[in-house]
Structure 1
Amino acid sequence: FIAVAATQAQGKTVVGGAKELRVKETDRIKAIVSELKKMGADIKEKEDGFIVEGPSKLKGAVCESYNDHRIAMSLAVAALLAEGKTVIKNSECIDISFPGFEKILQNLI
Structure 2
Amino acid sequence: MMFPTPWSVGVHVFSGSGEDAHGNPTITFTPPLSQPGTAVAVYGWFVPSTTELPLAGHDRVIVDVQLLVPPGFPAGPRDVVDLPDGPAGQFEVVGYPEDYTHGPFGWAPGAVLNLRKVDG
Whether these two folds match at TM > 0.5 is no
TM-score category (smaller protein): under 0.3
TM-score, normalising length: structure 1: 0.22
Larger fraction in helix: 1
TM-score, normalising length: structure 2: 0.21
Structure with the greater alpha carbon radius of gyration: 2
Larger fraction in strand: 2
